[in-house]
Amino acid sequence: MRAIRREGTSAELVVGRLLYGLGQRYRKNVKSLPGSPDFANKSRKWAIFVNGCFWHRHTACTRATIPKSNQQFWLEKFAKNRKRDATAVLSIRRLGFCAIIVWECETADQERLKRRLVDVFETRGIDMR
Range of the domain at 56: 10-122
Q: Domain of 22: which CATH number?
A: 3.40.960.10
pLDDT score of 4 more than 80: no
* Model confidence, pTM: 0.89
35 domain residue, yes or no: yes
Q: pLDDT per residue over 51-71, tens digit each?
A: 999 989 998 898 888 899 999
Helices (H) and strands (E) in the chain, counts: 4, 4
2 domain residue, yes or no: no
pLDDT score of 23 more than 60: yes
The total domain count for the chain is 1
Question: Which has the higher per-residue pLDDT, 16 or 1?
Answer: 16
Residue 10: per-residue pLDDT: 87
39 domain residue, yes or no: yes
128 domain residue, yes or no: no
